[in-house]
Structure 1
Amino acid sequence: MTAALALDYDMLPPEAKIVHDYLEASMVPDPERAATYMSEGVTITFTGGRVYHHPTGPTGFNAMRYAWVKKDMRQFDVAQGAEGVVVYSTGYLYGEWPDGTAFEGNRYIDRFVVENGKIVKMDVWNDSAERILTARGIEA
């Protein structure tokens, strides 16, 4: 596994703590606990443009794509955006593919919009599709 950088949770802005705690719950995976960090009308746009409105959507998709997967959260960037407070979480995925082959160093970036202490929007990108293609001998 890629060596994790120590994040100082106590130094994170409140919106980044909400995102961090959501990601921790989603990695268990505990989609019901993860949902407590999200608004009722949340829109989650997952890899490949899949749209969900509850954390059970990404959890179900991940269960098909990976035997298991975790995030090595490296950085949180917080800014005021046109939509509200925007939080970017960047780092690496690690885990196992369904065939049991381990992987690490798979880049991810998640973009969140946080309003009134809840995540209202989430966009997810990572390198998993490219890694799957490369493993099958298909170079993009």
Structure 2
Amino acid sequence: MPNDIPADPAKLVETYLRTLMIPDPVGARRFIAPGVEIVFTGARPMRDPSECAAFNAKRYRWVKKRFEHTHVVAGGTPAHTVVYNTGTLHGEWPDGSAFEGNRYVDRYTLANGLIVRMEVWNDSGELLLLRAGIAA
């Protein structure tokens, strides 16, 4: 494993997210295992960080994460660890209007020091429904 990959699971996830949010999908690949499974909001399957960046480019003019907590689930081993990262999104919608306070939860499964599964949930879908006037 390259020595620029943090051994600490929480630091690995945070470094991956910071890299992905640049966006630098090529650099983000250093933190994922071959065959990674990525599931974005709406159960959208993806296989590469470049797909995350492309999806975000359609949904937002730009978007960044403000980390609030990164939790490593107790009982993990170097062979299998689960990490949750929670916080809020801020940025601009495609029309240029700003947003912040958009809650998110990401769940990462790590195996042998690399991300093998990333699951993403956030409030963007609900906020877009409100902006469109079709949600209470």
User: With structure 2 as the length reference, what TM-score do the two structures score?
Assistant: 0.90
Alpha-carbon deviations, 1:12-34, whole Å to 9, x = none? 98001110000000110000101
Question: What are the within-5 Å matches in structure 2 for residues 13-24 of structure 1?
Answer: 14-24=8-18
Specify every segment of 5 or more residues in structure 1 that has no aligned partner in the other structure, as ranges. Answer: 1-11
Any runs of at least 4 consecutive aligned residues in structure 1 with deviations exceeding 4 A, and if so which? none
Question: What are the within-5 Å matches in structure 2 for residues 33-72 of structure 1?
Answer: 33-72=27-66
State the secondary structure of the residue aligned to 2:18: helix
2:134 aligns to what? 138
For 2:24, the aligned partner's letter is: D
Q: 2:119 aligns with which of 120, 123, 128?
A: 123
For 2:84, the aligned partner's letter is: Y
For 2:134, the aligned partner's letter is: I
Specify every segment of 5 or more residues in structure 2 that has no aligned partner in the other structure, as ranges. Answer: 1-5
2:107 aligns to what? 111
2:91 aligns to what? 95
Alpha-carbon deviations, 1:27-55, whole Å to 9, x = none? 10000101110001100001111111110
For 1:50, the aligned partner's letter is: R
User: With structure 1 as the length reference, what TM-score do the two structures score?
Assistant: 0.87
TM-align CA RMSD: 1.8
Are the counterparts in 1 of residues 41 and 120 from structure 2 also a CA contact under 8 Å? yes
**Identity fraction in percent:** 51
